[in-house]
Amino acid sequence: LDGDIDGARVEVARSDHGSAVLTDGLAEAGAYVHETVLYALTRPAGAGDSTELAAAGDLDAALFTSSLTVEHWLAAARERGIESAAREGLADATVGAIGPPTAETAADHGISVDVVPDDAGFEALARATIEDA
């Protein structure tokens, strides 16, 4: 969009944990960017069954759809006292990330990502991860 949006007013409506990649890129291209937070992302109580599957060696694939899902997954494993075993199980599974920012967060946390689809949508992520697995 560089060169096409200089001076444009852009509204970005999203969650409270959106990456700055989009808003910074739009601003750098010359747009006036306003962000509206529509919803908050929280981890439901009791979530994290996949951490137990990973710790037991029974997880074939994991799909991370945001940086926050990476952090929540690790927090759930930590709270269960199985973080080390869950990380080992995750290393044996196929790991997909919805886009480069999510893959970078995973890498920052020591998680190796096998799949990052060209299209940052869930269907593309699921299909690419299944194909790789």
pLDDT tens figures, 62-105: 999 999 999 999 999 999 999 999 999 999 999 999 999 999 99
pLDDT, position 2: 76
**Same domain assignment for residues 76 and 112:** yes
**Same domain assignment for residues 92 and 111:** yes
Would you say the pTM of this structure is higher than 0.75? yes
CA distance 29 to 58: 46
Q: Is residue 62 part of a domain?
A: yes
* Cβ-contact 12, 18 below 8 angstroms: yes
Angle CA 14–25–19, to nearest 5: 40
Range of the domain at 14: 9-39
What angle do the packed helices 67-79 and 83-91 form, to 10 degrees?
130
CA distance 131 to 133: 6
**Same domain assignment for residues 35 and 61:** no
Structural domain count of the chain? 2
Which pLDDT tens digit goes with each residue over 21-50?
889 999 999 999 999 999 988 888 888 999
**Same domain assignment for residues 73 and 125:** yes
**Same domain assignment for residues 35 and 58:** no
pLDDT, position 21: 86
Q: Is residue 1 part of a domain?
A: no
pLDDT, position 74: 97
